[in-house]
A = this chain, B = another copy of it.
Amino acid sequence: MQSTPSTLRLEPFKVACSSCNLRELCLPVGMSNQQLERLDDIVATRRTVPRGEALFHVGDAFTALYAVRTGFFKTCVSSEDGRDQVTGFQMAGELLGLDGIGTDRHTCDALALEDSQVCIIPFHQLEELSRELSDLQRHFHKIMSREIVRDHGVMLLLGSMRAEERLAAFLLNLTQRLRTRGFSSSSLILRMTREEIGSYLGLKLETVSRAFSRFQDEGILTVKQRQIEVLDPDALQRLVNGSPC
């Protein structure tokens, strides 16, 4: 947990969606150059979040959305009695903070799993601009809707899949998202602990570890700590679909 000092660091220099290499993955998807310049006006600053620190906490006032530029995050909610649940992992180009719109306060914690950087998107200004630019409005609505659909998928996973199916689905989802970002879909380094994976999947860390070991025994992948090589993605796919019972 080598963390730089925990002061909130804002980058004063101008940042620009129009020249960002994530513009095909992030909020700007499908916008014209002219529209992008308008977006640049409101997405003016970045923030650095060292590994282990929070981008925001439950109860923090909601003022902005955050687009992950580099790094990796988890979001988690917790119940009165301390049990907590990882609700998602976010990587470059993905949006954080949608939970806060409903009540003007954040309802989950967002924690950096590695040194990360986010673009700050002041929400009032985003709403204002999206009243002008229907493409932006439309795209923002799609992003929220997809988050709802993703959550429904997780409910299906938590409600009806067995341990190995859950892990297989999780790995396929990760590799899929990495592929979209131009990374290898067979070789990946997990940014999170077994416990965090377990929390996301509704399993204990020992169960996650055993499932990894079983996959390795069956030649589906190799595990060396957090370094995973997927040898047989089809086998993973078969696990999440037709359970061979």
Contacts and interface: CB of A to CB of B under 8 A. Distances in A.
Interface string A124-160: 0001101110100110011111111101111110111
Interface stretch (A6-14, A79-87, A179-187, A220-228): A79-87
A196 to B, nearest CB: 12
> How many copies of this protein are present in the complex?
2
A152 B153 CA distance: 12
A48 interface: no
Contact of A148 (B79, B81, B99, B155): B99
Contact of A158 (B78, B138, B142, B158): B158
Interface stretch (A20-28, A101-109, A113-121, A170-178): A101-109
21 contacts: A77-B153, A80-B241, A80-B242, A81-B243, A85-B156, A87-B152, A98-B144, A102-B142, A102-B145, A103-B142, A103-B149, A108-B152, A127-B137, A127-B141, A131-B137, A144-B145, A147-B148, A159-B200, A159-B201, A159-B202, A160-B202
